[in-house]
Structure 1
Amino acid sequence: MDIYYIERKSGKKQKEIVAGNKFLEWIYDTKPGNTLLEIFVKKKLFSSIYGKFQELSFSRKKIKDFVGNLSIDMTEAERECIDEYHNFNDFFARKLKKEARPMSFDEEHLISPADGRVLAYENLDKDKLIQVKGSFYTLEEFFQDKNLANEYDKGICIVVRLCPADYHRFHFPDNGIPRTTRRINGRYYSVNPIALRKIMGIYCQNKREITLFESDSFGKIILAEVGATCVGSIIQTYKTGESVGKGDEKGYFKFGGSTVILFLKKGQLKVDKDILLNTKLGLETKVNMGEVIAKKN
């Protein structure tokens, strides 16, 4: 199955290069694959073992082909030479040069917290959030908190899906104060559209970490990171209760495609029209961390 998205800068429709595409299609589209998925792949043990291998020095050998196959621009990285990385996870969680991700510091602009492909929804129905067309989940299932679900009903949801080729550190979308992250254990299904179309409620089934962020400009925002197949860990690097600046690092994912989801209350902002239009057409919009994705009402 081919996956397409809109490259925001050009406005053109692009075909996504999917790492491990044949494996994903076999796992999610065949009976033997489904069996292996349910018995082993979706469980923590598989992703933990795979993640441990990415920490070993011999995993460095994968970096060159990974960079070439996925057309990763290493001139953006603080360490441009692949020989400088100790193992694959060291490379995967690489830091970028500050100038590689310019951002807006206008207090009325909400920036993307990560590189990725964005879908956005306004006026949420807490009992019927869209995972992909024809597949839904509820806020209460996602938060595992009925009161919190009611609080964000009729609000805004912005989903940023990270592919293996993307920069895998995530950041704060505004100045503010982050509170404690609540960890919810779960499965490790892929968050690729191939899997999202097959497995109901992946975001509610997968491991996730939920942070209440008191934004200076947009009130209380929920920042959630969702794990996926082969994501060894979600690492939080911020300090609870300490003020942060817009664009400051919040954490990073170890190997694997992953997702960052933002929930905002009704009336806090207006999502950019191009992102909303593409979402209605069933297409994600490719953005980089720091790009403006919404503006204050």
Structure 2
Amino acid sequence: MGARLFAWLQYLLPQHAISRLVGWLGRLEVPWARTALVRGFMAMFRIDMSEAAEPDPLAYASFNAFFTRALQPEARPMPTAAEALACPVDGRVSQCTDVEDGQLFQAKGFRYDLERLLGGPAPEALWDGSFATLYLAPYDYHRIHAPADGRLVEMRYLPGALFSVNGATVSAVPRLFARNERVACLFETDFGPMAVVLVGALNVGSIETTWAGEVAPGPDRQAAFWRYPQEGPGSVRLARGEELGRFNFGSTVIVILPQGGPRFAPAISAGRRVRLGETLAS
């Protein structure tokens, strides 16, 4: 009952106005505001700064710069096996299972469409592939990295709602990941197509990618699609572990792998904490 009430209250909130306000506050470079926000956040979540490239939390120009801080290069080594896929984030596994005829499992009683999640046609190999939903809590590292070497084929910005993506809301709001604002990235890899979907949420000020900058929220919140050439100017290739993007405040990443491709590691199961760089699939 509590989870359902929490979810229904979110239907009534001005989700985008709240998120814009939070985003504005997070980018303030006024020293007293930055200091108050950072110290309050540190006290609430007991943030460990020992792995940060800049370990002094008050050295950042704004709260958002602190929140999206980089890690030391050696903090997250990649898998030793060349064929292994790397976990793209620090977070918690919400779901990890098969895609069934273009349907993804959200929570008990709830499934959602692959093509609705991706905002358009999905490569056929993903229709019966597998996926992992990875939730980033506020205290997690908030940059996203490439799970595997790949060439970006298409990026899609899909405007939508901004429900919270915590466990209570996921279990109460139907098709949540396919209705929230999101950026879907479709890659071509040695093992076939791969999708990495960055899902926005309440208080997420924006979603950025390393090749396009801030993508969400888009101008006038209209859907947008970008195709990328295979070679030459404008092409985008990422190596495994290379930074892909970041959330300006926390959310969820969904990684979708093709049928017959790498299989998720047995340890990547619902409820488990994961760290950037550990073996996601092989």
Q: TM-score, normalised by structure 1?
A: 0.80
Counterparts of 2:72 and 2:259, CA distance in 1: 35
Structure with bigger helix share is 1
Within the alignment, does 1:183 sit opposite 2:183 as a pair? no
Within the alignment, does 1:82 sit opposite 2:57 as a pair? yes
Q: Which moved more, 1:118-127 or 1:75-84?
A: 118-127
Question: What is the percent sequence identity of the aligned residues?
Answer: 33
Asked if 2 retains the 8 angstrom alpha-carbon contact of 1:143 and 1:149, the reply is: no
Residue 20 of structure 1 corresponds to none
Residue 147 of structure 2 corresponds to 173
Instruction: Structure 1: give runs of 5+ residues left out of the alignment.
Output: 2-24
> What SS class does the counterpart of residue 213 from structure 1 fall into?
strand
Residue 170 of structure 2 corresponds to 196
**Two-structure CA RMSD over aligned residues (Å):** 2.1
1:220-239 aligned at under 5 Å gives the runs 220-238=193-211
TM-superposed deviation, 1:51? 1.0
The letter for the 2-side match of 1:141 is R
Counterparts of 1:30 and 1:224, CA distance in 2: 28
Residue 280 of structure 2 corresponds to 293
Counterparts of 1:73 and 1:214, CA distance in 2: 36
The letter for the 2-side match of 1:50 is V
Counterparts of 1:54 and 1:123, CA distance in 2: 37
Asked if 2 retains the 8 angstrom alpha-carbon contact of 1:124 and 1:155, the reply is: yes
Residue 264 of structure 1 corresponds to 257
Counterparts of 2:58 and 2:267, CA distance in 1: 40
TM-superposed deviation, 1:162? 0.5
**Residue 100 of structure 1: which of 75, 89, 95 is its match?**
75
**Residue 47 of structure 1: which of 19, 34, 46 is its match?**
19
Within the alignment, does 1:115 sit opposite 2:90 as a pair? yes
Residue 138 of structure 2 corresponds to 164
Counterparts of 1:100 and 1:68, CA distance in 2: 23
> What SS class does the counterpart of residue 41 from structure 2 fall into?
helix
TM-superposed deviation, 1:136? 1.6
Asked if 2 retains the 8 angstrom alpha-carbon contact of 1:126 and 1:150, the reply is: no
The letter for the 2-side match of 1:220 is P
Asked if 2 retains the 8 angstrom alpha-carbon contact of 1:105 and 1:246, the reply is: no
Instruction: Structure 2: give runs of 5+ residues left out of the alignment.
Output: 213-233
1:271-286 aligned at under 5 Å gives the runs 271-275=264-268, 278-279=269-270, 284-286=271-273
Residue 215 of structure 2 corresponds to none
TM-superposed deviation, 1:38? 2.0
Asked if 2 retains the 8 angstrom alpha-carbon contact of 1:126 and 1:138, the reply is: no
Counterparts of 1:131 and 1:120, CA distance in 2: 7
Asked if 2 retains the 8 angstrom alpha-carbon contact of 1:126 and 1:149, the reply is: no
TM-superposed deviation, 1:69? 2.6
Within the alignment, does 1:64 sit opposite 2:48 as a pair? no
TM-superposed deviation, 1:149? 6.5
The letter for the 1-side match of 2:275 is N
- 1:237-276 deviation per Cα after TM superposition (whole angstroms, max 9, x unaligned): 1365232211110111102x2011111111101111122x
TM-superposed deviation, 1:61? 1.1
Q: TM-score, normalised by structure 2?
A: 0.84
1:29-48 aligned at under 5 Å gives the runs 29-30=4-5, 34-35=8-9, 37-41=10-14, 43-48=15-20
> What SS class does the counterpart of residue 8 from structure 2 fall into?
helix
Counterparts of 2:124 and 2:237, CA distance in 1: 27
The letter for the 2-side match of 1:286 is R
TM-superposed deviation, 1:71? 2.4
Compared with structure 1, are the counterparts of its residues 133 and 34 closer, same or farther at alpha carbon in structure 2 (3 Å cutoff)? Answer: closer
Counterparts of 2:98 and 2:4, CA distance in 1: 33
Asked if 1 retains the 8 angstrom alpha-carbon contact of 2:96 and 2:130, the reply is: yes
The letter for the 1-side match of 2:106 is Q
